[in-house]
A and B are shown apart, each in its own frame.
Chain A
Amino acid sequence: MAKWSGHLEKVDDYRWRIPRNYKPGMRVPGLIYADENMLQQIREEQALEQVANVAFLPGIVGYSLAMPDIHWGYGFAIGGVAAMRLKDGVVSPGGVGFDINCGVRILRTNLTEAEVKPRIKELVNALFTSVPSGVGSKGKIRLRAGEIDEVLVKGSRWAVEKGYGRPADLETTEEKGEMPGTDPSKVSPRAKERGVPQLGTLGSGNHFLEVAVVDQIFEPDTARVMGINQVGQVMLLIHCGSRGLGYQVADDYIKEMVDAMRQYDIDLPDRQLACSPVESRQGQAYLAAMRCAANYAWANRQCITHWVREAFCRILGRREEEAGLELIYDVVHNIAKIEEYEVEGHREMLCVHRKGATRAFPAGHPSLPQKYAKIGQPVLIPGDMGRVSYVLVGTERAMQETFGSTCHGAGRVQSRTAARRHLRGSDVLKELEVRGITVRAESLPGLAEEASEAYKDVTAVVNITHHAGISRIVARTRPIGVIKG
Chain B
Amino acid sequence: MRRYRLIEHTADIGLVAYGQNLAGAFANAAYGLFSIIAELRAVREVESRTIELREKDREGLLFEWLNHLIYLFDVETIIFKRFDIKVFDGQRLEAICYGEKYDPSRHHLKLGVKSATYYLLKVDAEKNQVRVIFDV
Residues of A within 8 A of B (CB): 1, 45, 71-75, 78, 94, 97-99, 134-136, 190, 193-194, 197-198, 203-205, 244, 247-248, 250-251, 254-255, 258-259, 270-272, 274, 412-418, 443, 445-446, 449, 485
Contact status of A73 and B110, CB under 8 A, knowing A98-B135, A136-B73, A272-B118: no
Contact status of A258 and B11, CB under 8 A, knowing A194-B74, A194-B75, A244-B74: no
Residues of B within 8 A of A (CB): 6, 8-13, 37, 56, 59-60, 63-64, 67, 70-71, 73-75, 77, 102, 109-112, 114-115, 117-121, 133, 135-136
Contact status of A134 and B109, CB under 8 A, knowing A98-B135, A254-B118: yes
Residues on the B chain within 8 Å of A94, using CB: 117-118
Whole-angstrom distance between the Cβ of A353 and the nearest chain B Cβ:
16
Contact status of A272 and B119, CB under 8 A, knowing A78-B11, A205-B136: yes
Apart from A71-B11, A74-B117, A415-B9, what are 14 other A-B pairs with CB-CB below 8 Å? A45-B10, A74-B118, A75-B117, A94-B117, A98-B114, A134-B109, A135-B112, A136-B73, A194-B74, A248-B71, A255-B64, A259-B56, A413-B10, A485-B112
**Can you list 6 pairs linking A and B with CB atoms under 8 Å apart?**
A98-B117, A259-B56, A270-B119, A272-B121, A416-B111, A445-B111
Which of the listed residues A244, A274, A418 has the most CB atoms from chain B within 10 Å of its own CB?
Answer: A244
Whole-angstrom distance between the Cβ of A440 and the nearest chain B Cβ:
16
Q: Are A417 and B60 in contact (CB under 8 A)?
A: no
Residues on the A chain within 8 Å of B74, using CB: 136, 194, 198, 244
Q: Are A75 and B118 in contact (CB under 8 A)?
A: yes
Whole-angstrom distance between the alpha carbons of A205 and B11 in the complex?
A: 10
Q: Which of A73, A136, A250, A272 makes the CB contact (< 8 A) with B112?
A: A136
Whole-angstrom distance between the Cβ of B34 and the nearest chain A Cβ:
12
Using CB atoms, name the residue of chain B closest to A137. B112
Which of the listed residues A135, A204, A247 has the most CB atoms from chain B within 10 Å of its own CB?
Answer: A135
Whole-angstrom distance between the alpha carbons of A255 and B56 in the complex?
A: 10
Q: Are B109 and A135 in contact (CB under 8 A)?
A: yes
Using CB atoms, name the residue of chain B closest to A248. B71
Using CB atoms, name the residue of chain A closest to B117. A74
Whole-angstrom distance between the alpha carbons of A271 and B63 in the complex?
A: 11
Whole-angstrom distance between the alpha carbons of A255 and B90 in the complex?
A: 17
Q: Are B110 and A135 in contact (CB under 8 A)?
A: yes
Whole-angstrom distance between the alpha carbons of A203 and B67 in the complex?
A: 18
Q: Which 10 A-B pairs have the closest CB atoms?
A: A74-B119, A204-B112, A271-B118, A74-B117, A272-B118, A272-B119, A135-B109, A135-B112, A98-B114, A244-B74
Whole-angstrom distance between the alpha carbons of A194 and B112 in the complex?
A: 14
Q: Are A446 and B110 in contact (CB under 8 A)?
A: yes
Whole-angstrom distance between the alpha carbons of A99 and B11 in the complex?
A: 13
Q: Are A74 and B12 in contact (CB under 8 A)?
A: yes
Residues on the A chain within 8 Å of B8, using CB: 1, 415, 417-418
Q: Are A99 and B75 in contact (CB under 8 A)?
A: no
Whole-angstrom distance between the Cβ of B79 and the nearest chain A Cβ:
9
